[in-house]
Amino acid sequence: MRAKAKASAPTTRLGRAYAQIRRLLIGTPLASEQEIEERLSKKKALAILSSDAISSSAYASEEILNILVLGGLAALTLTLPIAIAIAALLAIVAISYRQIGYAYPSGGGAYAVAGANLPRIFALVAASALLIDYVMTVAVSTSSAIEQIYSAFPALFPVRVEACVVAISLILLGNLRGIRESGNIFALPTYLYVGSALVVVGSGLFKALVLHDPAATGYQPGHVSAAVDQLSILLVLRAFAGGSVALTGTEAIANGVPAFKPPEAQNAARTLVAMAALLAIIFIGVTAVAVSYGILPGGTQSVPALVARAAVGTGPMFYLFQASAALILVLASNTSFNAFPRLAAILAEDAYFPRAFAFRGDRLAFSTGIFVLAAVAAALLVAFNANTAALIPLYAVGVFISFTISQAGMVKHWFVEHGRGWRSRLAINAFGAVLTGVVAVVVASVKFTAGAWMVVALIPIIVLVMVLIHREYAREAAELVVREDLVFGQPHRRQRVVVPVPGLTRAVVQAIAFARTLSPDVRAVYVTDEIDSGEQLRARFERQLPGVPLVIVESPYRQLVRPLVTYLDVMEPDPEAVTIVVVPEFVVRHWWEQILHNRSAQRLRRALIGRPNTVVAVVPYRKDA
Say if 277 falls within a structural domain: yes
Same domain, 344 and 195: yes
Please count the other Cβ atoms lying within 10 Å of the Cβ belonging to residue 111: 30
Q: Does 555 map to a domain?
A: yes
In a domain, 27, yes or no: no
CA–CA gap between residue 44 and residue 181 (Å, rounded): 10
Residues 409 and 510 in one domain: no
Together in a domain, 198 and 252: yes
**Same domain flag for 212 and 164:** yes
Does one domain contain both 444 and 563? no
Return the pLDDT at 594: 66
Domain ends where: 474, 503, 537? 474
Cis peptide preceding 263, ω within 30 of 0: yes
Residues whose CB falls within 8 Å of the CB of residue 519, separated by 6 or more in sequence, listed in order: 494, 495, 496, 497, 580
- Count of structural domains, the chain: 2
Single pTM value for the model: 0.70
Both 444 and 508 in one domain: the answer is no
Which of 84, 76, 145, 85 has its CA nearest to residue 295?
76
Q: Give the DSSP H/E element, type plus range, for residue 399.
A: helix 397-417
The set of residues, in sequence order, having a beta carbon less than 8 Å from that of 293 and lying 6+ positions away, is 204, 208, 215, 216, 217, 218, 306, 307, 310
- CA-to-CA separations, 560 to 49, 502, 589, in angstroms, rounded: 57, 10, 25
Q: How far is CA 427 from CA 247, 393, 421, 423, 525, in A?
A: 21, 31, 10, 6, 77
The length of the chain in residues reads: 625
Residue 252 domain-assigned (yes or no): yes
Same domain, 425 and 546: no
Secondary structure (3-state) at 351: coil
The rounded distance, in Å, linking the Cα atoms of 295 and 21 is 49
Residues 151/386, Cβ–Cβ less than 8 Å: no
Are residues 45 and 158 both part of a single domain?
yes
Domain check: are 430 and 514 in the same one?
A: no
> Does 546 lie in the same domain as 414?
no
In terms of domains, do 531 and 400 share one? Answer: no
Q: How far apart are CA 192 and CA 406, in angstroms?
A: 33
Per-residue pLDDT reduced to its tens digit, 216-261:
887 766 555 444 445 577 788 888 877 887 887 787 787 778 778 8
Q: Among residues 439, 474, 509, which one ends one of the domains? A: 474
Assess if residue 358 is contained within a domain.
Answer: yes
C-alpha span between 42 and 29 (Å, rounded): 25
How far, in Å, CA of 577 to CA of 492, rounded? 9
Q: Based on the fold, state whether residues 311 and 441 are members of the same structural domain.
A: yes
* Domain enclosing residue 588, as ranges: 495-621
CATH of the domain at 594: 3.40.50.620
- DSSP string covering 504-556: S-HHHHHHHHHHHTT-S-EEEEEEES-HHHHHHHHHHHHHHSTT--EEEEE-T
Cα(424)–Cα(159) distance, rounded to whole angstroms?
53
Residues 407 and 429: their CA atoms lie apart, in Å, by 5
Rounded Cα gap, residues 96 and 607, in angstroms: 56
11 inside domain: no
Q: What is the CATH classification number for the domain harbouring 413?
A: 1.20.1740.10
Q: Could you read off the pLDDT of 464-504 as tens digits, one per residue?
A: 999 999 999 998 888 877 777 767 666 567 789 999 998 88
- Mean pLDDT by runs of 10 across the 625 residues of the chain is 38 54 52 49 77 79 85 82 91 85 76 90 92 87 80 78 87 70 66 92 93 82 52 79 80 76 84 91 93 82 88 90 81 78 89 86 70 92 83 79 89 84 86 85 82 88 95 86 70 82 90 92 90 88 90 83 87 80 83 67 83 88 66
Q: Report angle CA 135, 137, 138 to the nearest 5 degrees.
A: 70
- Asked if residue 25 belongs to a domain, the reply is no
Radius of gyration of the chain from its Cα atoms, rounded to whole angstroms: 32
> In a 3-state reduction of DSSP, which class is residue 211?
coil
pLDDT score, position 492:
63
User: Residue 241: its pLDDT value, please?
Assistant: 79
Q: How far apart are CA 307 and CA 292, in angstroms?
A: 10
Which residue among 474, 505, 525 closes a domain? 474
Asked whether residue 524 is assigned to any structural domain, the reply reads yes
